[in-house]
Structure 1
Amino acid sequence: MIPSTSFPALLALPALAFLSLSASALPHARTASSTATLKLAVRINSYGIENIAAADRARIQALRAGGSSSVDATNAVTGYTAVIGVGSPATNYTLLVDTGSSNTWIGANKPYQQTTTSQDTGGTVYVTYGDNSYVSGEEYTDTVTLNSDLVIDHQSIGVASEDSGMDGLNGILGLGPVDLTQGTVSNAYEVATVTDNLYAQKKISSEVLGVFFAPASSDDSSGELTFGGYDASKITGDISYVSLTSAYPASTYWGIDQSISYGSTTILSETAGIVDTGTTLILIASDAFDKYQLATGATLDQSTGLLQISSDQYNQLSSLYFTISGVTYELTPNGQIWPRSLNSAIGGTSGGIYLVISSTGSPSGSGMDFTNGYCFLERFYSTYDTTNSRIGFATTEYTYATTN
């Protein structure tokens, strides 16, 4: 999520999906590496939310305007949480996983239990997120336990005295670029992230994070974070990498350049955007969204804020193709629809078919013209490589799933 956050029938690939790889996008063969894994739990809000598209849009607009980064848990219909320990002996906290923000903090809905490893830095922390959500409090350092293999000494963490939008969660595990922490803590220029410290303390051999989500509608709605590399058992091919974009403001986050085609028709020429676990939908610039709506014949449903199609239109739906550094990733028709079993979570009807492609609310050329959110990331494995300033993607067993 972004500081101001939140959160298939197997089809034959047309010729455009077989574009040759550019030199910069050559696949990286799977090799053994020193890694450690943190299991995630899927969280589906049962209270329901109306107009998730508007919530996602507000978050992205705040990010583009230079808001801090993170996930707005209030607006997250589907999200992933991790249980981490803080202190010694450790107290466990359930945190929202967010690659769109970088501050890790606790204290929402569960007080901070100080131990002999707790040290007050004397600084205050203040981070704002989308839809007027925020956290403020004191900044501490403490021992943070991700699992038995990943124990971080002197990790900087915020301890909330005030917060909004967490809906039962205890805080956020920030996994974005360290630059996003600048200006958030009163007595520090920036604070090292969890991934930064794991690498600096030699707990992992490379500053790489692998992210896997199974679709919430699948039989195995699980997820995992792999620190120090990626989990080769979760991918069905090699990982192809793309350098981070230089276009602002996408360059502030985990930003890349990509183009998008609907079938054989280009709806978004190559432009900059971000990859964000905290955004639920796939957002594209308003002009691209208009082309997509016209091509699909969808109508805007006022209750959910999502495009809706009929069963006949779904049967005629073409795949979307995301071309990233010469590699094309197919989002099948089933991957473009909201899980029908979760329609009630967004205020939809039980038999409705809703599309997960929505508008950023701004035309292309803004420097942040798309967000590949959870609905994209549940179909493709992603890696975030700080050392080499790049992001990688690979297919998984769920890329062509028909679970929605």
Structure 2
Amino acid sequence: MIPSKSLSCLLTLPALALLSLTATALPHPRSASSTASLKLSVRINSNGLKNIAAVDRARFRALQTGGSSSINATNAATIYTADVGVGSPATYYTLLIDTGSSNTWIGAGTPYTKTSTSRDTGGQFSVTYGDGSSVSGEEYTDTVTLNSDLVIENQSIGVASTSPGFYGLDGLLGLGPADLTEGTVTNVNEVPTVTDNLYTQGTIGSEVLGVFFAPASSDDSSGELTFGGYDASKITGNINYVPITSTSPASAYWGIDQSISYGSASILTETAGIVDTGTTLILIASDGFSKYQSATGGTLDEATGLLKITSDQYDQLSSLYFTIGGVTYELTPNGQIWPRSLNSAIGGTTDGIYLVVADSGTTSGSGLDFTNGYCFLERFYSVYDTTNSRVGFATTKYTHATSN
């Protein structure tokens, strides 16, 4: 979910709101090398998703224009959530994990329980989505507990009074760059994210986030966030870093430059795009997608919006190669197909074989020509380093898995 920077939702409120949103005390000091992890839960939507590619494209279009795109829980085939405590004593809320947005908010399901640590800032928050809907409500500061090692004092948190599309969830944990909060809360320029405050309050030694996903169809369909660094036990080899791209609008997010090849054939020359846990598929510019479709022989399936291939075509699939900062990451044929055990979750047929590379709907050269979503991130560990303005990747034991 990408927060809107529109000023139309802003109201005039007392200046003290500005002070209430800043990071404060150092309640849980740790060493400079400290890290702490938060386990994630995976949810599979088995209600029958309608055109998964169209959902991701809507998010992509909104993102290109610098707006926000909803992650409608009813339209997400695979989502990761974390149980996050708010208040003292804490009430726990199930929040969607999103590196594509930065506001943290609750109120979609479980009501906000105020405690002695709750403070109404007098501000209002509003995030407008790509489908025209919005989440809005009051902005509070409160104690936020991710786990016993990750406790944040005076975290800015929205309490939604309207929150369409988040059925079955309580809100969102925003893990994107802080700049994405600009214009979303009244009377402040931007608000510190949970990662900002963990660092500022001395809980973690560096403003770094490691993200691990396992394929949904594997025997370990789980995830983990590591704040302050990365979990070396989850990777094979080294973390390879690249700077945040300088190309707009990708530069506003966790944006990188990469090229893509199918076998030895170029699909997309080096260009800018983003890494995003809130997108399910791998989206690429229309001209690159046309080359990919031609190379694989896939036909567009109207029900899912994905390319569908035969068993014989699957046997002939080549690997897809992502070159990022001079390092090439191989997405094997098995990594290019939707988990067949989850076909019903996207409205597909039981025996269908669907490719997870989809058309972004725009031609290359837009400044945001691809999104490496969940289907990429389940094969590669990712690191988001605010301190050094860079993104890193590493292989995992699932990089060459055949679980799909």
TM-score, with length taken from structure 2:
0.92
Alignment of 1:4-23 (within 5 A): none
- Per-residue CA shift, 1:4-39, capped at 9, x if unaligned? 8xxxxxxxxxxxxxxxxxxxxxxxxxxx94100000
- Per-residue CA shift, 1:70-92, capped at 9, x if unaligned? 63323211010000000000000
Q: How far apart in 2 are the matches of 1:296 and 1:274?
A: 24
Task: Find out whether 1:162 has 2:162 as its counterpart.
Answer: yes
Q: How far apart in 2 are the matches of 1:377 and 1:93?
A: 25
Does the aligned pair in 2 maintain the 1:72–1:133 contact within 8 Å? no
Report the counterpart of residue 75 of structure 1 in structure 2: 75
Report the counterpart of residue 151 of structure 1 in structure 2: 151
- Per-residue CA shift, 1:338-381, capped at 9, x if unaligned? 00000000000000000000011000000000000000000000
Report the counterpart of residue 390 of structure 1 in structure 2: 390
1:142 Cα offset (Å): 0.1
Query: 1:282 is matched by which residue type in structure 2?
Result: I
Aligned to 2:59, what secondary structure does the other structure show? Answer: helix
Aligned to 1:155, what secondary structure does the other structure show? Answer: strand
**What RMSD in Å do the two structures reach over aligned CA positions?**
1.1
Q: How far apart in 2 are the matches of 1:347 and 1:91?
A: 36
Report the counterpart of residue 228 of structure 2 in structure 1: 228
Alignment of 1:15-54 (within 5 A): 33-54=33-54
1:129 Cα offset (Å): 2.4
Gaps of 5+ in 2: 5-31
- Per-residue CA shift, 1:142-165, capped at 9, x if unaligned? 000000000000000000011111
Does the aligned pair in 2 maintain the 1:108–1:163 contact within 8 Å? yes
1:2 Cα offset (Å): 3.5
Aligned to 2:236, what secondary structure does the other structure show? Answer: coil
1:69 Cα offset (Å): 5.7
Does the aligned pair in 2 maintain the 1:70–1:278 contact within 8 Å? no
Q: How far apart in 2 are the matches of 1:184 and 1:167?
A: 22
TM-score, with length taken from structure 1:
0.92
- Per-residue CA shift, 1:222-271, capped at 9, x if unaligned? 10000000000000110000000010000111000000000000110000
Query: 1:186 is matched by which residue type in structure 2?
Result: T
Report the counterpart of residue 261 of structure 1 in structure 2: 261
Does the aligned pair in 1 maintain the 2:59–2:68 contact within 8 Å? no
Query: 1:229 is matched by which residue type in structure 2?
Result: G
- Alignment length (residue pairs): 377
Task: Find out whether 1:333 has 2:333 as its counterpart.
Answer: yes
Q: How far apart in 2 are the matches of 1:88 and 1:106?
A: 16
Aligned to 1:135, what secondary structure does the other structure show? Answer: strand
Q: How far apart in 1 are the matches of 2:42 and 2:130?
A: 22
- Per-residue CA shift, 1:261-320, capped at 9, x if unaligned? 000001100000000000000000000000000000000011111000000000000000
1:383 Cα offset (Å): 0.3
Alignment of 1:212-227 (within 5 A): 212-227=212-227
Does the aligned pair in 2 maintain the 1:2–1:60 contact within 8 Å? no
Q: How far apart in 2 are the matches of 1:83 and 1:286?
A: 38
Task: Find out whether 1:351 has 2:366 as its counterpart.
Answer: no
The percentage of counterpart residues that share the same residue type is 78
Report the counterpart of residue 321 of structure 1 in structure 2: 321
Does the aligned pair in 2 maintain the 1:3–1:70 contact within 8 Å? no
Which 4+ runs in 1 deviate beyond 4 A? Answer: none
Report the counterpart of residue 175 of structure 1 in structure 2: 175
Q: How far apart in 2 are the matches of 1:134 and 1:320?
A: 37
Report the counterpart of residue 365 of structure 1 in structure 2: 365
Greater alpha carbon shift after TM alignment, 170-179 vs 130-139: 130-139
Query: 1:138 is matched by which residue type in structure 2?
Result: E
Report the counterpart of residue 59 of structure 2 in structure 1: 59
Report the counterpart of residue 302 of structure 1 in structure 2: 302
Gaps of 5+ in 1: 5-31
Query: 1:135 is matched by which residue type in structure 2?
Result: V
Does the aligned pair in 2 maintain the 1:72–1:131 contact within 8 Å? no
Q: How far apart in 2 are the matches of 1:130 and 1:309?
A: 31
Does the aligned pair in 1 maintain the 2:253–2:274 contact within 8 Å? yes
Query: 1:148 is matched by which residue type in structure 2?
Result: S
1:132 Cα offset (Å): 3.0
Report the counterpart of residue 119 of structure 1 in structure 2: 119
Does the aligned pair in 2 maintain the 1:123–1:139 contact within 8 Å? yes
1:131 Cα offset (Å): 2.5
Q: How far apart in 1 are the matches of 2:153 and 2:242?
A: 32
Report the counterpart of residue 287 of structure 1 in structure 2: 287
Q: How far apart in 2 are the matches of 1:79 and 1:68?
A: 18
Task: Find out whether 1:94 has 2:94 as its counterpart.
Answer: yes
Does the aligned pair in 2 maintain the 1:70–1:102 contact within 8 Å? no
Task: Find out whether 1:188 has 2:188 as its counterpart.
Answer: yes
- Closer, same or farther: CA 327–70 of 1 in aligned 2, 3 Å: farther
Report the counterpart of residue 25 of structure 2 in structure 1: none
Report the counterpart of residue 22 of structure 2 in structure 1: none
Q: How far apart in 2 are the matches of 1:59 and 1:375?
A: 16
Report the counterpart of residue 14 of structure 1 in structure 2: none
Aligned to 1:131, what secondary structure does the other structure show? Answer: coil
Aligned to 1:204, what secondary structure does the other structure show? Answer: coil
